[in-house]
Amino acid sequence: MDRSAFDLAETVRYSGDLKYDSVASSRGVERLRNIFRHSGLLVSPQITPGIYSALSDALQNLGILELTPDAFVYSSPEVNASCFLGDEADFIISMSSSLVTLMKQDELSFVIGHELGHFLLNHSEEILEKDELRTLRVKRAREISADRIGMIACGSLETAVRAMMKTVSGLPSELIRFDISYFASQAAALKEDKFNDYAASATHPSILIRTRALINFANYFNGDRFEFLARKEQLDKMIEADFRKHIDGCIVRALELQDRENEFWRFAAACLENGKFSKGDQDKVKSEFGDGMLEKLLNLLRDRPVNEVREIVSQNLHRFT
Q: Which residue ranges make up the site for Zn ion (CB under 5 A)?
A: 143, 146
CA distance 209 to 247: 8
**What separation in angstroms does the CA of 81 have from each of 113, 125, 262?**
11, 16, 39
Phi, psi of 182 (to 5 degrees): -65, -40
Nearer Cβ to Zn ion (146/208): 146
Nearer Cβ to Zn ion (57/143): 143
Nearer Cβ to Zn ion (248/281): 248
User: Residue 275's beta-bridge partner residues?
Assistant: none
Nearer Cβ to Zn ion (112/272): 112
Q: Please write down the long-range contacts of 35-43, taking CB distance under 8 Å and 24 or more positions apart.
A: 36/70, 36/72, 36/74, 36/92, 36/94, 37/72, 39/74, 40/72, 40/73, 40/74, 40/75, 40/94, 41/72, 41/73, 41/74, 42/70, 42/71, 42/72, 43/70, 43/71, 43/72, 43/73
* DSSP tag of 175: G
Nearer Cβ to Zn ion (207/313): 207
CA distance 287 to 56: 63
Q: How many CB atoms lie within 10 A of CB 178?
A: 13
**Chain position whose Cβ is nearest to Zn ion:** 146
In the complex, what is the shortest distance from the CB of residue 262 to Zn ion, in angstroms, rounded to a whole number?
Answer: 31
In the complex, what is the shortest distance from the CB of residue 146 to Zn ion, in angstroms, rounded to a whole number?
Answer: 5
Nearer Cβ to Zn ion (39/82): 82
Nearest CA to 71 out of 52, 50, 93 is that of 93
Nearer Cβ to Zn ion (40/150): 150
In the complex, what is the shortest distance from the CB of residue 150 to Zn ion, in angstroms, rounded to a whole number?
Answer: 9
In the complex, what is the shortest distance from the CB of residue 82 to Zn ion, in angstroms, rounded to a whole number?
Answer: 8
* DSSP tag of 192: P
- Residue 207, CB half-sphere, CA atoms under 13 Å: how many? 14
In the complex, what is the shortest distance from the CB of residue 143 to Zn ion, in angstroms, rounded to a whole number?
Answer: 5
In the complex, what is the shortest distance from the CB of residue 119 to Zn ion, in angstroms, rounded to a whole number?
Answer: 11
CA distance 257 to 251: 10
- Whether 148 and 10 have beta carbons less than 8 Å apart is answered as no
In the complex, what is the shortest distance from the CB of residue 85 to Zn ion, in angstroms, rounded to a whole number?
Answer: 12
Nearer Cβ to Zn ion (15/282): 15
Q: How many CB atoms lie within 10 A of CB 282?
A: 14
In the complex, what is the shortest distance from the CB of residue 73 to Zn ion, in angstroms, rounded to a whole number?
Answer: 17
